Structure 1
Amino acid sequence: MSELLDPTNDYVFKRLFAEAPDLLVDLINDLRPDLPDIASVEIINPNIEPTELTGKYIILDVLARDGKGNCYNIEVQVRRYGAWHKRGLFYLARTLGSQLSAGEDYQELRASVGLHLLDFDLFTETAAEREQAIWRFEMRDERQPKISLGNVLQMNLIELNKADRLGLPEGPLRAWITFFKHWQEELTMANVAHEPVKRAMSRIRELSADEETRRLAFVRERALRDEVSFLNDAKREGLQEGEQLGIEKNKRETAHNLLKLGVLNDEQIAEVTGLAVDEIAKLRIEDKH
């Protein structure tokens, strides 16, 4: 048996749920138990374009609509970047706004729900943040959070690592967390009784046995690694440039101080600071002005 594919690879994640709407229904119901259960969904974006596998900054999400018209954006994210929340809010708001055509009644608006599985710790600044892994954001008043504008715009975040580490109460949500974090551990998964997670494991085995699926999953994984490497290289180059600018600034400040002393000539100051003689000459003119 081939090594099982990682369900947090967003290509595998989309194949896993977009091709099995009934399994996606179970996932949605288990991740948002505060809302009434749904019976079925229509997958709005079932296809995966080849360019999406290698495109920079693309996240392969699953867009679905239930029988009442409520829309869901479900995705898994394995890397943290600065504007992730703005991106999520943008697409959530766009999904809400695209429901109505010109002239339609706002009363017809249905919920736009984001379900984001994060394979990294997001909120870590305070002790309280470090002890919470399940988050739901809605439009609520700052001083009286019980006063809400409703849940038509709702973003749900689950920090997988933190949820696994904290240990959630037994139930469907804990079973899904176990799946996403321990899918490779046969004994651990054998103890999971939640039927939808069992079906998810069966689908992972099916996908993992297909050579073309494995190849495309690797293409996606490589693209994500390349993206991370590119960003890290850019950060390192930025730091190096900043350090170099700092060095140049120090050289110029030293040259200015030596010019004020009036003891050394331009050649001597150039030798001390490492600047070119013509640069020293320019600094001397600047100082006179």
Structure 2
Amino acid sequence: MKKTKELKEKENFIMFPTVDFCFKELMQNENVRKGIIAALLNVSPDEIESTILIQTILRKEYEDDKYGILDVRVKLKNGTQIDFEMQVAAYEYWDKRSIFYLSKMYTDPIKEGEGYDTLKKCIHVSILNSVHFPEDDVCYRRIAFCDTETGKEYSDLMEMHMLELAKLPPEAQNEEGIILWMRFLGGRCEEDFRHMAEKDKYIEEAYDTLKKLSADEEKRLEYEARQKVIRDHNSFMKSAEKRGLQQGIEKGIQKGIQQGIQQGIQYTLKALELKKQNLSAEQIAEELQISLNDVKMILGEK
């Protein structure tokens, strides 16, 4: 009976795109990239001629510069670059971090001696499974440079798209474009994914890819390892929060403890991700701006 139950669970298993490992694997499919990019740019997928995955580590111009490590970086035929960041947990300084990524991506391609006319459009896309703008119920917004008095756009060379999956309203009739993709990415069961696949052929391909990934034993092990890291740290941080809250009540520093816990989660997850990209402990410490000893403790190195 136990084996039958395990077999049934295995057959019903489906990955969630909000786990960054799964999202990155989905974006390996060119048609998936084409579909979601077309939705973001509000154009027909036929207008997206090329979507090339490129290096996610942004170069440093000077020795003391900070690295920029992106989740998924795509280059279009016209030179436009798009950075996709899947962020599950709330990140206190996400506004600053996203601006850093966008700015570094914008200047990364230009070489010494080249003119500013060579700079191409860059787009940062934050896919957030939490609320980033608590002051309203808007789940998708495009942010660009504009005149604060007239609202007239100054330049479209740098822009940001914020997708807050946690703020998606109840499904309405005749939804299209990026909202459909947000519902797919935020799906919590196979029925959710199947339902959205019926509405768009590119989402259908994403669903087919998701099923293949979920059926791949090796990919599943990687996915579950990533989930385990997140679960373990959530459990650890909840325990730390419980202890910290007691201390915070006594010392009046509850807010500082909570901020420290969130920062600890982010440092740990990012350090493990950078390790997978073959960065040394020294490079990881520099990127995260934490001590080398802390990095080695996270990675389990002596």
Q: Do the structures match in fold with TM over 0.5?
A: yes
Does the 8 A contact of 1:2 with 1:209 survive in 2? no
Q: Which runs of 5+ in 1 are unaligned?
A: 48-57, 247-289
Deviations 1:195-246 (A, max 9, x none): 0010001000000001111111111112223343454455444433333336
Supply the AA of the counterpart residue of 1:98: D
In structure 2, list runs of 5 or more residues that go unmatched: 1-10, 58-67, 253-302
- Aligned pair partner of 1:159 in 160, 164, 173: 164
CA distance in 2, matches of 1:187, 1:72: 27
Question: Aligned partners of 2:240, 2:100: CA distance in 1, in Å?
Answer: 26
Residue 8 (str. 1) matches residue 38 (str. 2): no
Residue identity opposite 1:87 in structure 2: R
1:1-289 superposed matches below 5 A: 1-17=11-27, 19-33=28-42, 37-45=47-55, 61-125=71-135, 129-130=136-137, 132-146=138-152, 148-165=153-170, 167=172, 169-182=174-187, 184-186=189-191, 189-190=194-195, 192-245=198-251
Q: 1:2 offset after TM fit, Å?
A: 3.9
1 CA distance for matches of 2:116 and 2:205? 39
When residues 138 and 61 of structure 1 are mapped into structure 2, their CA distance, relative to the original with a 3 A threshold, is same
Deviation at 1:65, TM superposition (A): 0.7
Cα distance in 1, alignment partners of residues 227 and 179 from structure 2: 26
In 2, the alpha carbon distance for the partners of 1:151 and 1:187 equals: 34
CA distance in 2, matches of 1:88, 1:230: 27
- The 1:227–1:152 alpha-carbon spacing in structure 2 relative to 1, beyond 3 Å, is farther
The whole-number CA distance in structure 1 between the counterparts of 2:94 and 2:19 is 17
How far off its partner does 1:186 sit?
A: 2.8
Alpha-carbon displacement from aligned partner over 1:46-100 (angstroms, at most 9, x marks no partner): 89xxxxxxxxxx9871111111111100122111121112111111110001121
More divergent stretch after superposition (65-74 vs 191-200): 191-200
Structure ID, larger Rg: 1
Cα 1:97–1:188 shift into 2, 3 Å: closer
Number of matched pairs: 230
The residue matched to 2:154 in structure 1 has which SS? Answer: coil
TM-score, normalised with respect to structure 1: 0.71
Q: 1:180 to 1:158 in 2, by over 3 A?
A: same
Is the alpha carbon distance of 1:187 and 1:216 closer, same or farther for their aligned partners in structure 2, counting shifts above 3 Å?
Answer: closer
1: CA distance, partners of 2:214 / 2:154 = 44
Aligned-pair identity (%): 28
Q: Helix, strand or coil for the counterpart of 2:85?
A: strand
Give the match's secondary structure for 1:171. Answer: coil
Q: What RMSD over aligned residues (CA atoms) do the two structures have, in Å? A: 2.8
Distance 1:168 1:83 in 2: 36
Distance 1:138 1:174, change over 3 A: closer
SS for the counterpart of 1:150 is strand
